[in-house]
Amino acid sequence: MLADRVAALDTGLLAHIESAATDDDRKSLLAVHNGVAARCGRFSYLEIGSHLGGSLQAVIADPRCVKVVSIDSRTSWVPDDRPGGLPSEYVDNTTEHMLSLLAGVPDADMSKLETVDESTEDLSPGRFARPDFCFIDGEHTYVATLRDARFCRSIMQGAGVIAFHDFLIVERAIRDFLREIPRPRRAYVLRHTVCVVELGVMRSLLHDPGIRAQLTPGGRILARSAGFDTWLLAADLVRRRRGVG
Q: Which of 78-87, 131-140, 159-168, 180-189 has the lowest mean pLDDT?
A: 78-87
- pLDDT one-digit tens code per residue, 101-128: 999 999 999 999 999 999 999 999 999 9
Average pLDDT score over residue span 32-43: 96
Q: Is the pLDDT of residue 77 over 70?
A: no
What is the total count of domains within the chain?
A: 1
Q: How far apart, in whole angstroms, are the C-alpha atoms of residue 184 and residue 200?
A: 5
The pLDDT value given to residue 202 = 67
Residue 86: pLDDT band (50, 70, 90) is low
Report the alpha-carbon distance of residue 6 to residue 185 in Å, rounded: 25
Residue 6, strand partner residues: none
Give alpha helix (H) positions in the chain. Answer: 2-7, 23-40, 57-61, 95-102, 142-155, 167-180, 209-214, 234-241
| CATH code (residue 58) | 3.40.50.150
What's the mean pLDDT in 181-188? 84
Indicate the pLDDT class of residue 8, thresholds 50, 70 and 90: very high
What pTM did the predictor assign?
0.87
pLDDT digit string, tens, across residues 154-184:
999 989 999 999 988 899 999 999 999 887 7
Range of the domain at 12: 2-241
